[in-house]
Structure 1
């Protein structure tokens, strides 16, 4: 596959382990079990009784703490984690119930960058693929806020942009924002006429089996909403994906260059 080597390169830079510590003031919640199932068989463990640094433990609210190599990498309110991933489903994104402006994610999720996941879609699993959907929308939000730069996104079938109300609305806003928008997939619908996006259509390797959202801002861009971001997922077999995201500028630039050159 065209993008196999890129995935392997991204994964090789990933951390050895990540641990998500859950601190609730009033004891365990059924949502803790849901969180554990979300990350089951992934390189992220969930610990409801973990010891973490004093600052996190001293907070008044319930929190999730991401730990790596013995250091606290991020801390987020558990309520934010629940709203972002545990209490939602993918229909909220596809139907447009969850808007682009609501796509911010808690840092305990975004800081799982460079961690390779293997995720199943519905009906094999109810929540796993949602992690990639939420991260895709977060990268799209980043591009929209920047209003410039280049966004390259693949859909397997281009008709998915039109079929999913939330996706159509999001990419309509992106096309109008000033972002240089490129879309990839099998040519069963024409986004160029409807959105003004640059269309890259094809079948097979790189088109039918990949899912990427790559935001490559201009070199002179500054500010928190103009930093590079990329998600890459490859379908190993029907409804089973290996996915990863990164915010490393060199990795994003290289992935964008490969997509630009090969697809």
Structure 2
């Protein structure tokens, strides 16, 4: 049981990323393909006179055929994942109030990922790092509700300058900010962070970032009700949209997980954490 019981809670979506009318160098295409290698997301490229150059299109296979879920400039994908490393987030260079993720990445929700960390891969795990920051920013922008985040070791808050700055900023709002991990560090007495320490597998192996809005503001619509996101709307969810990332380290430096906007699933994950950690 435990958090591992939620790994099978999604119905796998069939999604594809297409780079349209690429003029960027070949290595950019190879980096995108490598980032999603061995994942249930196909990556290809095509020409389309109806679109401009260097556009990434996310589509989903449905009973009616391929439907466009989101489009984003290739440059946005390059600058958020392909051409950066995790130090951008750890050191605070990716500032919370300036951070954006292209919709073709955020809308890969309900897709199960199996990712490797460094040194086996220097890009795969970065996708989860970026989504984590996206959810943290979503909570900060909402300004209320509740954020629950796990770090395996609580001392990561202290060790990573960028992470420390993000959580100080989120906790300075009306967002109830809960952090979870092995209790090897305590925040200052004047901190608004609420710490939860433990030594079970859920503490040792989990990576979650879960945002829930105030109960009277939570949206009811499932992600399928959202319209396709364009490159003009990088944050294509409402401020009161629940969202959760959940991943577990099933082997050293290997992570299985997903992120979801489904209110009922986010609520179930949040409730489990509240009652068991």
**TM-score, normalising length from structure 2?**
0.88
Equivalent residues in 2 for 1:238-249, closer than 5 Å: 238-249=252-263
8 A contact 2:20–2:51 mirrored in 1: no
Residue 78 of structure 1: aligned partner: 74
Displacement of 1:25 in angstroms is 4.6
1:250 alignment counterpart: 264
Asked if the contact 1:139/1:230 (under 8 Å) is kept, the reply is yes
Q: Deviations over 1:209-249 (max 9, x none)?
A: 00000001013337822211100000011111012000111
Secondary structure in structure 2 of the residue aligned to 1:235: strand
Correspondence for 1:65 among 57, 73, 86: 57
Asked if 1:33 is matched to 2:33, the reply is no
- Please provide the CA RMSD for this pair: 1.6
Secondary structure in 2 matching 1:218? coil
* Matches for 1:52-201 after TM superposition, within 5 Å: 57-69=49-61, 70-191=66-187, 193=189, 195-201=191-197
CA distance in 2, matches of 1:114, 1:25: 28
Q: Aligned partners of 1:36, 1:194: CA distance in 2, in Å?
A: 46
For residue 209 of structure 1, the aligned residue among 205, 208, 230 is 205
SS in 1 for 2:81: helix
Aligned residue-pair number: 255
1:14 aligns with 2:12: yes
Structure 1 residue 101: deviation in Å? 1.9
Question: Do the aligned partners of 2:24 and 2:54 also contact (CA within 8 Å) in 1?
Answer: no
Distance in 2 between the 1:27 and 1:164 partners? 33
Unaligned runs of 5+ in 1: none
CA deviations on 1:70-90 (whole Å, 9 max, x unpaired) are: 111111111111111111110
Unpaired segments of 5 or more residues in structure 2?
219-236
**More off after superposition, 66-75 vs 131-140:** 66-75
Per-residue Cα deviation, 1:136-171 (whole angstroms, up to 9, x for no partner): 000000000011001000000000001000000000
Q: Distance in 2 between matches of 1:230 and 1:194?
A: 28
User: What is the alpha-carbon distance in structure 2 between the residues aligned to residue 146 and residue 209 of structure 1?
Assistant: 28
Distance verdict in 2 for CA 1:108–1:203, change over 3 Å = same
